[in-house]
Amino acid sequence: MAKRDVTIKRERLLRAIGERIARRRKRLGWSQADLARRVGVTVETQCRRERGRLAFSVDVLAVYAEAMAVTVSWFVREANR
């Protein structure tokens, strides 16, 4: 697989995870500021993550999962559909 293909797949995955986070956040009735405060990031960082502009480590996804009452695998499993 070419490096460009990997980059494109990574970007799609990050956007999909960000979209899932945004949808879950809205279902919980939280603003971006609410979620940012719960996971310990700035609102700007939260915004960038929801747009797929900032990568997640497994540790960071674990913090989001705990705050949003889902599993870490929920982000990736659902994003790959």
The reported pLDDT for the residue numbered 58 is 92
The structural domain count of the chain equals: 1
Q: pLDDT digit of tens for each residue in the chain (81 aa)?
A: 677 777 888 899 999 999 999 999 999 999 999 999 999 999 999 999 999 999 989 999 999 999 999 999 998 875 555
The reported pLDDT for the residue numbered 77 is 79
Residue 34 amino acid letter: D
Residue numbers of the domain that contains 30: 3-79
CATH of the domain at 20: 1.10.260.40
Contact 35, 67 (CB under 8 A): yes
